[in-house]
């Protein structure tokens, strides 16, 4: 499971959410908006990627970073799930 923290301009939140849900490089699991202050929200989005497939994580990271209108995306957490 990989959780990304995604930053974008407030007027683009809906479009970015739609694009993040459509990513197929990982198995989409969850998406939440969280306020960080001064009316700014961050998107936290989670995906499941197979740990035994070479390049799966880097492919997902590239897909998230390729979403238009994103200012910054970073891996916030990665963990194994059973």
What pLDDT score does 69 carry? Answer: 96
- Residue-wise pLDDT for 4-49, tens only, equals 999 999 999 999 999 999 999 999 999 999 999 888 899 999 999 9
Fold entry, domain 2-78: Alpha-Beta Plaits (3.30.70)
Residue 2 pLDDT more than 80?
A: yes
Please report, for the chain, the start and end positions of each structural domain, with discontinuous segments joined by +. Answer: 2-78
For the stretch 64-82, what's the b/e string if a residue is b when 16 or more beta carbons lie within 10 angstroms of its beta carbon? Answer: beebeebeebeeeeeeeee
The distance from CA 63 to its chain's CA centroid, rounded to whole angstroms, is 9
């Amino acid at each position: 499971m990989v959780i990304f923290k995604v930053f974008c301009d407030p007027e683009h939140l809906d479009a970015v959410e739609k694009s993040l849900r459509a990513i197929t490089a990982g198995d989409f699991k969850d998406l939440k908006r969280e306020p960080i202050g001064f009316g700014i929200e961050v998107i936290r989005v989670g995906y499941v990627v197979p740990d035994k497939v070479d390049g799966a994580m880097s492919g997902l990271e590239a897909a998230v970073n390729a979403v238009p209108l994103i200012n910054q995306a970073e891996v916030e957490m990665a963990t194994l799930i059973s």
